Amino acid sequence: MNHLEELEAQSIYILREAYKHFGKLGMLWSVGKDSTVMLWLAQKAFFGQCPFPLIHVDTSYKIPEMIEFRDKLIKEQNLNLIVHQNKQALEEGMNPEKGRLVCCEHLKTRPLQSVVKVFEFEGLILGVRRDEEGSRSKERVFSERDSDSNWDYTDQPPELWDQFKTDFKKGNHIRIHPLLQWREVDIWKYIQWENIPVVSLYFSKNGKRYRSLGCYPCTFPVESNVTDIQGIIEELENTRQTERSGRAQDQEDAYAMQKLRSKGYM
């Protein structure tokens, strides 16, 4: 087996474990490259089905092409999508000018916490990867959150030999991370190999392309003339820029991601 086949087999194994163990299960789909690959892997694991709903936390600040791509794919493939928004915070005028981390907390963390409560999810599948940033690199594949979605990252239980955490207190939930071992370049190689459709924002327009997608006030494209996947792979193999360098919330504080994620951020 080559390296991509190994990653694929592992992710499918994880998705099937999640489906077997959690009656109430959902998959977070941000429309970005990672969670789009994850959706593809789910369809692969379940032979064309995605037997659980997709969840999109819509901050209302997403780049319009993302919403377009989202709605098109859902319609074409007849997928079950839950769109969740913190309407109250938006009505009260929440925006990044009130502080990027404050905005992330109100428009992303809180609606995510509430979607878990409303739908009583026991398991939530997320497309985070270890190579994205420090706090994610320390994640477990099956990672417990308490009833308020808090993550006790200083005392994580052991995880070995693909025996995952499936026993937990009622009211808590498990975050499942099938892509934890993938690297950014693996994602693109897999997209190329499997010919998976992705949103066009990743390809260069007017000398710029997005490397990581998020909300438009806090996400900035990188200089690039790359217009195809092979070009992206070559660019990644030669760059010294980090993937999330265009994501402004990460730069707010040395421990920004740890602080956000310990409270339930994706």
Partner 1 sequence: MTELTVQTREKLNIVAVGHVDHGKSTLIGRLLYDTNSLSDGAIEKVRHISEQNGKPFEYAYLLDAFEEEQKQGITIDTTNINFSTDKRDYIIIDAPGHKEFLKNMISGASSAEAALLMIDAQEGIQEQSRRHGYILSLLGIKKVFVIVNKMDLVNYSESVYNEIKENFDKFLSNLNIYPIEYIPVSAFNGENIIAKSEKLDWYRGVNIIEALDLIQKEPEPEDKPLRFAIQDVYKFDNRRIIAGRIEAGILKVGDEVTISPSGKRTKVKTIENWPTPYDKNLISAGMSVGITVEDEFFNKRGEVISHSQDKPQTSNLFNANIFWMGNKPMVKNKTYKLKLTTQEVQCEVFSINAVIDSSNLNASGSYNEVKKNEVAEITIKTREKICFDEFADFRGTGRFVIVDEFNVSGGGIVLKTDESLKNRVLDPKNTNFKPRPRLVSRNQKEARLQQQARVIWLTGLTGSGKNEIAIKLEKKLFELEKTVCYLDSANLRFGISSELEFSESGAYEQTRRIAEIANQFINNGIITIVTSISRYKKAREVAREIIGSDDYLEFHIEAAENVLKARSSKAMYELEGNSDSEMYYEKSEYPVYSLYIDDPEFNHDEKVDLIIDQIKNIL
Helices marked H in the chain — which ranges? 3-21, 33-45, 64-77, 87-91, 100-104, 110-118, 134-137, 184-194, 229-238, 256-262
Bridge partners, 173 (sequence order): 145
- 196/33 Cα distance (integer angstroms): 9
Residue number with CB closer to partner 1 (6 or 120)? 6
- Two structure tokens written together for 33: 């490259």
* Min CB(52)–partner 1 separation in Å: 13
Query: How many other C-beta atoms are found inside a 10 Å radius of the C-beta of residue 17?
Result: 20
Judged by the rule CB under 8 A, the positions of this chain that interact with partner 1 are 1-6, 8-10, 12-13, 16-17, 19-20, 43-49, 51, 130-131, 133-135, 137-138, 140, 153-154, 156-161, 163, 165, 167-169, 181, 183, 189-190, 192-195, 240-242, 245, 254-255, 258
Nearest to 23 by CA among 51, 55, 54: 51
Per the CB < 8 A criterion, the answer to whether 176 and 168 are in contact is no
* Min CB(86)–partner 1 separation in Å: 27
* Min CB(1)–partner 1 separation in Å: 5
Phi, psi of 232 (to 5 degrees): -60, -45
* Min CB(84)–partner 1 separation in Å: 26
Residue number with CB closer to partner 1 (89 or 182)? 182
Residue number with CB closer to partner 1 (107 or 187)? 187
Residue number with CB closer to partner 1 (114 or 181)? 181
* Min CB(23)–partner 1 separation in Å: 14
